[in-house]
Amino acid sequence: MALEQIFTNASIVLPDEIVKGSVLVRDGEIADISTGALHSGEDFEGDYLIPGLVELHTDHLETHYSPRPGLRWMKMAAIQAHDAQIVTSGITTVFDCLRMGSAEGDDGFATGEMRAMADALAEAERENRLRADHRIHLRCEVSTDNVLDQFDAFRDDPKVGLVSLMDHAPGQRQFQTMDQYILYYKIKRGLSDEAFAIYVEKQLALSERNSARHRIALADICAARGIPIASHDDATAAHVTESIDLGVKLAEFPTSLEAADLSHEAGLSVLMGAPNVVRGGSHSGNIAARDLAERGVLDVLSSDYVPFSLIHAPFLLADAIEGFGLERAIALVSDNPARTVGLDDRGRIAIGRRADLVRVERPSGVPIVRSVWRNGRRVA
């Protein structure tokens, strides 16, 4: 016997419009969408019904696992705490970032730690501990000596759905000037001038030795396995050209308008941080996501380091940009990211799609997530 649910009297955010109506869910899929209220079903009282959010880049699992420098929390407890915060932010599909590559003094994880975390995620899924659909995004620090060795532990892992290629060496990409690099790596770590100078010299040497060859090697592996590739912090036309040549699908956090424009024109999905939208600008002094939205070159938002920002930011964009529309803003956190990584079964409210759905009330200001369903099952 088919399991049916009806959500009625809802403001349904469809790909191109918002309608007052009802949605029928049958066996975990959207079976019908109709206008007008019905006499049966769950009454949304006019609240929004939106697709479950799709998060491509969050470092938040790391903060639960390592809440203080050098401290490690129990993996399963960290995973469950992370999962709870993800789902109550309206996120039903999440790509958990696991860091590949570590160098002396960079607070990275030891070889084997991220593989153990992935194994714990798989165990949590087997034991039905997870409310969101968790997948893996490998953040590959291409300048490090050991990035390929750490990546090799995931070579045959079917949960890997995205790989990003990043280089945080000073003087380029995210750290084009030294001001923010000094804040991140000198002041926060309490390094002396001499120690910081040695650290900078070492990072530059690593980048020169490794970055180009590791980008190519990782891109070749991903192409063979059909894994989407993301660039990271592209700043120049040359960076964008390199990304296109490597087969990149997603341009994460471009740091200049030129790089964002060229990436979008080339058909790459341009991703920016939802915290950037909420704060009104980049915490590291780079370009503002809102400016890219106004230029029509913003495709995807990511919560990055604040999960709830992913549900908050679309409403702010719809408020701030005339003619942008909430339906277009919601696509930045649902349909667009899903399509970018080939998940065509979710991301929009449409017949035949997964019933990954979120009830949102927004009388004013910060939206309120009232309920969340994944595959038609209520998870929050």
* Residue 98: C-alpha distances to residues 112, 137, 139, 180, 215 (Å): 11, 6, 6, 24, 17
pTM: predicted TM-score of the whole model, two decimal places: 0.92
Q: How far is 284 from 1, CA to CA, in rounded Å?
A: 54
**What average pLDDT does this structure show over 81-102?**
96
322, with CB counted inside 10 A (0-12, 13-18, 19+), is exposed
Q: Dihedrals φ, ψ of 360, to 5°?
A: -125, 130
pLDDT of residue 202: 79
Checking DSSP bridges between strand 48-51 and strand 357-361, what pairing results, if any? antiparallel
pLDDT of residue 279: 93
**What single DSSP character describes residue 7?**
E
What would the pLDDT profile of 268-301 be if each residue is shown by its tens digit?
999 999 999 999 877 656 789 999 999 999 999 9
Q: What is the mean pLDDT of the chain?
A: 91
pLDDT of residue 102: 80
pLDDT of residue 88: 98
pLDDT of residue 178: 55
Q: How far is 347 from 300, CA to CA, in rounded Å?
A: 12
191 vs 139, more confident = 139
Task: HSE, CB side, 13 Å, CA atoms: give it for residue 365.
Answer: 1
Q: How far is 76 from 98, CA to CA, in rounded Å?
A: 15
Instruction: Give the pair of three-digit tokens for residue 238.
Output: 């040359």
What would the pLDDT profile of 121-167 be if each residue is shown by its tens digit?
999 999 999 999 999 999 999 999 999 999 999 989 999 999 999 98
Q: Is the pLDDT of residue 182 over 60?
A: no
- Domains of the chain with CATH codes: 52-345 (3.20.20.140)
- The SS3 call for residue 260 is helix
**What average pLDDT does this structure show over 173-187?**
56
